[in-house]
Amino acid sequence: MPLSPKSKFVDFIERHPSSKELNQDITQTEVIYEPDNPDESQRIRIFDIPNKSNKKSLIKKFLETIWVPGYKMRGNSYSDENFNAQLDQTSSIVSISAIFDAICTAPVLFYFTKAAGIFSIPLSLGYGWMLLIMSNKSGEFSMNRPKGNNTTANFLLCIFFLLSLVKTLVSGVGIDLVSRSGEIKNSTAKEFLKNYESKFSNPDILYTNLLESSTKECNRLVVEQSKLNPTKRGQRKLYNQLQEKMFRNNSKQSNANPKFLLDNYLSELGPCIKKDLINNLNGQNTIEKKEIFSIQNKLKKNTPPISFLYIFQRNKFNDTFKGNPLIGSESNFEIYRDSFEKNKLDFDIKCTSKLEECNQSVSWANPAMAINEGAKQFYSRIYNKEWGNLGLSYIGFLISILLSTTATILLYSASIDIRNRASRSSLVEEWREEYFAELDEEE
């Protein structure tokens, strides 16, 4: 006797290896058979006893927003063991990518919300969770590709990719903000100090133009004088005239300060006197300030840039940072105070702001600048190919790129799989109902 379509279907399920999982579910399912039920669709019904333990708890629902189950990426019309395994792999990569990016971007979100004070941590965690849900849901919904829905699915896949791209771009920055926090602050301070290089160099030579012209004239007169022989009566007078012209001093202030003479009796001084006075004055300045500039350059070389900025450019420090980088080491710099104040150079090691800031480590006055400086320095190192100086942030950046790209490719390839289309097909669902109807009609 030939088998009916229903019997062929049941026989296929019993014998086909790929239907093993479905066959096990069928044999363990209890049903109610009511042949006299006027509603044909209700003559065979699954005997469903509600099981409280099968209800999803809030914790499980929350966990599923973080780690997407593979079965959520398909419909209910069709499934098989191999396709479920593929979806599990895809959902795992999608979830790992989203979680990894959430961890890497957490420091950026924390700085972004730092203005909220004590609420910054819960706010940053909330924003991170929202981004994670948006990423997972856009990936999940991009799998829904029934006929006529390809455009929407492609759009959602693009959203998933763009969200992943944005999080990837800041992933390395986020790791840097944690692993290189002090280095970022010092690099920022070092950049500021470049604008004040002139204040940390030896003093300029005074009367530069006058020294140049006086030296030139003095040398010219010396050359003329060298051509004369003072032992000869005819040349002696001219020789003495040149000597007097070179070293003329009609100021009548023989013991006056060189600067006073130059400022008040310039026209009454000979070129060689001018040259000597300027050289003496610059020599005194060099002697007086050589030691203090040597100390300053030594401090600049051996002190972290942020501490040097705090001591010598306090206003600029307060514009960018807050806190005290000299906690516990103020006495190391106290010995230089008198020398700097005597030479009227900026030198401030006292913390004059609020008492609590004097006992706090350095932090950013503007959290947005932390993100900006972190991003600028991270991508500057990549641009300059400073691979050895990138460390964990570069590894995290590469991992984020690989995970995001792999997740996008897997989502697209799984979404166009014929089995995914079948799992959402209304036609397959109709065939299933027809088989159930035939099963109901047979004795």
Is 332 part of any domain?
no
Q: Is the pLDDT of residue 238 over 70?
A: yes
| Single residue among 282, 303, 327 that ends a domain in this structure | 282
250 domain residue, yes or no? yes
Q: What is the pLDDT of residue 99?
A: 93
Looking at residues 50-62, what average pLDDT do you find? 67
149 falls within a domain: no
Stretch among 11-25, 127-141, 377-391, 401-415 having the lowest mean pLDDT: 11-25
pLDDT band at 442 (very low <50, low <70, confident <90, very high): low
Q: What is the pLDDT of residue 25?
A: 63
Least confident of 17-21, 61-65, 175-179: 17-21
Q: Which of 263, 282, 301 is where one domain is finished?
A: 282
How far apart, in whole angstroms, are the C-alpha atoms of residue 164 and residue 417?
A: 23
pLDDT in tens, 189-236: 988 888 766 555 555 555 777 878 888 999 998 888 888 888 887 788
Q: Which residues contact 105 (CB under 8 A, 6 or more apart)?
A: 128, 131, 167, 170, 171, 174
| 17-31, 233-247, 380-394: least confident range | 17-31
Task: Indicate the average pLDDT of the chain.
Answer: 80
Share of the chain above pLDDT 90, in %: 16
Alpha-carbon Rg of the chain, whole angstroms?
42
Confidence (pTM): 0.64
- Residue 343 included in any domain: no
Tens of pLDDT, residue by residue over 341-360, are: 776 677 888 876 655 677 78
Is residue 68 assigned to a domain? no
DSSP assignment string, 368-426: HHHHHHHHHHHHHHHHTT-GGGTTHHHHHHHHHHHHHHHHHHHHHHHHTSHHHHHHT-H
- pLDDT value for 407: 93
Q: Where does a domain end: 230, 251, 282?
A: 282
Does 12 fall in a domain? yes
Cα distances (Å, whole numbers) of residue 220 to 217, 240, 259: 5, 15, 24
Q: Is residue 443's pLDDT more than 50?
A: no
Residues 6+ apart with CB under 8 A from 161: 404, 408
Whether 160 contacts 411, CB under 8 Å: yes
Q: Which residue, chain included where needed, has tokens 């919300």?
A: 113
Return the higher-pLDDT residue of 126 and 35: 126
pLDDT tens readout for residues 378-413: 998 888 888 777 778 888 999 999 999 999 999 999
Binning pLDDT at 50, 70 and 90, where does residue 367 land? confident
Tell me whether residue 229 is in a domain. Answer: yes
What's the number of domains the chain is made of? Answer: 2
pLDDT at residue number 97 = 92
Residue 19 is predicted with a pLDDT of 61
N-terminal to C-terminal alpha carbon distance within the chain:
15
Contacts of 192 (CB under 8 A, 6+ apart): 309, 313, 316, 320
| pLDDT of 328 over the 70 cut | yes
Asked, for residue 19, whether it belongs to a domain, the answer is yes
Q: How much of the chain, in percent, has pLDDT values that exceed 70? A: 77
Segments forming the whole domain that contains residue 13: 1-50
**What integer pLDDT is reported at residue 163 of this predicted model?**
92
Residues, the chain: 443
